[in-house]
Structure 1
Amino acid sequence: MNKKVIVIGGGFAGLSSAACLAKEGYDVTILEKNESIGGRARQFKVNGFTFDMGPSWYWMPDVFEKFYNLFGYTTSDLYELERLDPGYRVHFGENDHVDVPAKFEQLVDLFESIEEGSGQNLKKFLSQAEYKYQVGINDLVYKPSKSLTEFLDWRIVSGVFKMDLFKSISSEIRKLFKNPKLIELLEFPVLFLGAKPQSTPALYSLMNYADLKLGTWYPKGGMFRIVEAMEKIAREQGVKIETGVEIDRFEYRNGKITSAVSGSDHYDADVFIGAGDYHHIEQKLVDKQYRNYSEDYWDKRTMAPSSLLFYLGVDKKLKNLNHHNLFFDEDFTIHAKEIYDDPKWPSKPLFYVCAPSVTDETVAPEGKENLFILIPTAPGLEDSEEMREHYYELVMNRLERLTKQKIADSVIYKRSYAHKDFKNDYHAFKGNAYGLANTLRQTAILKPAMHSKKLKNLLFTGQLTVPGPGVPPSLISGQVVAKEVAKSIN
């Protein structure tokens, strides 16, 4: 009889682990608390608009392709993928913006036009970043990070200094570039890793390689197409998916979990994978004597940011907006300090606007625009409707001024989403949006462990464990935990 596996959580990591284990012959069931799968990448439709609720950047297409190949698919079998050109626009102020081109030669010319000598420096920087990407993505992130011995590989050890684990990405960038616009452009991907550039290892310039060389892509129909593709694969492997199932507690015998309990329903299995919020599962569902960590341990973790989001339907087509738009017209340093050093609602936040209807006519009615606005914030803040409205007006005023058009009076649909919603929908620790920050002290073996130290058949996956936050890392995390199950649970 095939061993039974219960996966708690139907986001990217949960779907990934479930599909991989089912492929190896396990009897796998995903239990998802919400009414639809996808986790933070869920989707909703209203008044002819289709909104992706969370992730909107499609980077590292090779990671997706590698996953699909495991099951005999290529990306093009599952959805239509388009490389955006320009990849995104960065607004630095009124009449001052930069479009980041897809073609590398044009990118080099752009850098050179902003700062003499920076074109060659960009080539040097990205050459180093490519090495980190190849070693980091192909070697490091597919390891479970149980001990340092995993990394005693000649390719990794011999290149440890080239990996720049002990330098900050901020110092690396500033050695080569002096213009503040170029510095901000190169530091921005670190926002997705959840730490200030000064606290993020220079290893993560691999994100710059992913951004500027591998490119920014878009799956037609929206990011939810990835969820649909993964669900298709999982079901084809025999995975069963139950939605609307909230796990309340576990039952135990002989140092193992025997059952996950939801109300009066018991889900028995040989193996349990926590693919939801690690902190919630460990601190709220697991009995105290079986927990890996104390509440004090969790309180000392550096969390990636939360976000205040707005989903807007606009009753006209807009000008001066690309698919992706970054608004860096205020001080990056002040906003970062208000997220990490002195957590508070930001005084003059940077923000991001996604307008997928610029690329994709299917996500908005004809003649209308679909907008997704994101303001990075500190986790753990008090969240009120008054605060949300304050920031909506603040951001809308700047958006109108910088794009030179009226927008607010044409908004026909509006929904906000912030800390309270992340907690309610995902049990997100401190209302975080991106998981655990990728600081040096929270990298690899210093992240919360995949394996329970006290329960033989409980493992964790997702953005609070190895390898870290983001869609591709979550996809990888599911594959890694599946291999750990296959190795350790007989």
Structure 2
Amino acid sequence: MKGIKKITIIGSGFSALAAASYLAQSGHDVTVYEKNDSLGGRARQLKIDGFTFDMGPSWYWMPDVFERFFADFGKKTTDYYELIKLAPAYRVYYGINDFITIADNLDEIVATFESIENGSGAKLQKFMARAKSNYDIAIKDLVYRPGVSALELITTETALKVGEFFSNISRDVRKQFKNERLIQILEFPVLFLGAKPSDTPSFYSFMNFADFGLGTWHPKTGMFDVVRAMVNLAKEQGVQFVTNAGVDKIIVENGTAVALQINGERIASDLILSGADYHHTETLLDQKYRAYSEKYWDSKVFAPSSLLFYVGFNKKLENIVHHALFFDVDFYQHAKDIYDEPQWPKEPLFYANFPSVTDATAAPEGMESGFFLVPLAPGINDTEALREEYFEIIIKRFETLTQQNVRESIIFKESFCKNDFVSEYNSYKGNAYGMANTLLQTAFLRPKLKSKKVKNLYFTGQLTVPGPGVPPALISGKLVSELINKQFSEQ
């Protein structure tokens, strides 16, 4: 590699933090510019009256990916934070005293399936064996490829599984299982990839192994532990951070990115990497330098937006676990309301997370912190009145299904929805998770890590490869840093 390069990074989400550490490790002078007043991108913290909430990601899956990241720097996750394996992993509610609890180990999950549908236990074991095989191929190898060419997908292992790229999760699950509840539980993990199970290739069953095989974990004091760890690691590599630094423009001269304009100041750079929203980043360029048109972005399938509520309760709640899914209404109608006919769902599914069940620091003693999420279509109309209407819907159902009164115990609630995703994160149409991993939006078919029109401009994060989710974000940061180092080594 020829000389130290000055690299500026836009945004401080997981992918940007990962890339910053890798590039600084390679000897570059790296500075991260974050528009908000705290680091972590969507994985920020909210602190109110002794309560602490993770504002973004709340599921810690694929612990091996985190270990692999820190191992690249001669570290372990335990050097920075402690992990707790959740037992149970989560619970799915269908009615009053009617729920399925997912254990923290596959043997118990198999037994649960068998108790609900005769013969499903053996079928689940077979399904999980294939899911593990896909996980070994995908997460240990395939996703660590930069999406430059279709040839990256052609390996001895994938050649044997080509049919799984042209079938879908929903079809495969329904071939094996008849009970609708078991089907929904098996379809649930791929929702993290941002698309309907019927639009997600069968190969992505590796998410089921991430769920049942590797388990659900929780950093001791929340997902922000991971942000804090990655910031500390980056600082150890020499990375500098600047907050309250929203980028106004990417300055291009003679087809090369040469500087950022931040708060009216020109900041020169040898190379610019954006971990911010891909679509937004391109709007920082003059029109002629944008690689993707508005028509392109509008034609893509985006992951849902979300209506979020951060709620403080003045008492401990009953009949809850750390992660809870409320599937007591039509699972598929809600999906249609997101993807097929975008609208506010008439009967919303929702997710609730109570970190104080596991982490005593999440709420004052004797109290509970609750995080509620309703998936919504991106680009949907967002008003305070609609937020209030839907809070009443979900809190009423929550009280009924868990058989307790909680409304009068609410100390405060803060909401966050599509408009906030746009204003806080410059998120395209207010999406929460990025671009969905459908067949035609996988690997080399996603927006490129390297700009096609501007030299020395790169991208990382959930709109490029490998896709949505925290573990893929770490991988995206590694992939782009390798492309950048390759460019410098060839100069």
TM-score of the superposition, structure 2-length normalised?
0.98
Is 1:289 the equivalent of 2:291? no
Q: Which stretch of structure 1 is more off in the superposition, 143-152 or 165-174? A: 143-152
- Cα distance in 1 between the residues matched to 2:153 and 2:190: 24
The structural deviation recorded for 1:159 is 4.0
SS at match of 2:144: coil
- Cα distance in 2 between the residues matched to 1:149 and 1:405: 56
What pairs up with 1:65-84 in 2 under 5 angstroms?
65-84=67-86
Is 1:328 the equivalent of 2:309? no
SS at match of 1:170: helix
Q: Which residue of 2 aligns with 1:481?
A: 480
What amino acid is aligned across from residue 339 of structure 1 in structure 2? I
Q: Which residue of 1 aligns with 2:171?
A: 171
Cα offsets for 1:12-45 (capped at 9, x unmatched): 0000000000001111110100001101100021
Q: Which stretch of structure 1 is more off in the superposition, 96-105 or 114-123? A: 96-105
- Cα distance in 2 between the residues matched to 1:365 and 1:113: 39
What amino acid is aligned across from residue 96 of structure 1 in structure 2? D
Q: Which residue of 2 aligns with 1:183?
A: 183
CA contact (8 A) 2:200 2:437 kept: yes
TM-score of the superposition, structure 1-length normalised?
0.98
- Cα distance in 2 between the residues matched to 1:231 and 1:199: 36
The structural deviation recorded for 1:82 is 0.6
- Cα distance in 2 between the residues matched to 1:470 and 1:486: 25
CA contact (8 A) 2:322 2:353 kept: yes
- Cα distance in 2 between the residues matched to 1:92 and 1:202: 26
CA contact (8 A) 2:245 2:263 kept: no
Cα offsets for 1:224-244 (capped at 9, x unmatched): 000000001000000001010
The structural deviation recorded for 1:152 is 3.4
Q: Percent same amino acid at aligned positions? A: 53
What amino acid is aligned across from residue 229 of structure 1 in structure 2? A
- Cα distance in 2 between the residues matched to 1:190 and 1:252: 39
- Cα distance in 2 between the residues matched to 1:281 and 1:343: 26
The structural deviation recorded for 1:178 is 0.4
Unaligned runs of 5+ in 2: none
How many residue pairs match? The answer is 487
- Cα distance in 2 between the residues matched to 1:119 and 1:150: 35
The structural deviation recorded for 1:296 is 0.6
Q: Which residue of 2 aligns with 1:51?
A: 53
Q: Which residue of 2 aligns with 1:410?
A: 409
SS at match of 2:440: helix
Q: Which of residues 7, 10, 14 in structure 2 aligns to 1:8?
A: 10
Q: Which residue of 2 aligns with 1:338?
A: 337
Is 1:249 the equivalent of 2:249? yes
CA contact (8 A) 2:105 2:215 kept: no
What pairs up with 1:394-405 in 2 under 5 angstroms?
394-405=393-404
- Cα distance in 1 between the residues matched to 2:153 and 2:391: 46
What pairs up with 1:94-173 in 2 under 5 angstroms?
94-161=96-163, 164-173=164-173
What pairs up with 1:202-217 in 2 under 5 angstroms?
202-217=202-217
- Cα distance in 1 between the residues matched to 2:315 and 2:353: 16
Question: Once superposed, what is the RMSD of the aligned Cα atoms?
Answer: 0.9
What amino acid is aligned across from residue 230 of structure 1 in structure 2? M
Cα offsets for 1:311-346 (capped at 9, x unmatched): 000000001000000000000010000000000001
Q: Which residue of 2 aligns with 1:421?
A: 420
Q: 4+ residue runs of structure 1 moved beyond 2 angstroms?
A: 149-161
The structural deviation recorded for 1:286 is 1.0
- Cα distance in 2 between the residues matched to 1:23 and 1:408: 51
Is 1:270 the equivalent of 2:259? no
SS at match of 1:138: coil
SS at match of 1:412: strand
Unaligned runs of 5+ in 1: none
What amino acid is aligned across from residue 348 of structure 1 in structure 2? E
Cα offsets for 1:160-205 (capped at 9, x unmatched): 34xx111000011011100001001111112211111111111111
Is 1:384 the equivalent of 2:386? no
SS at match of 1:409: helix
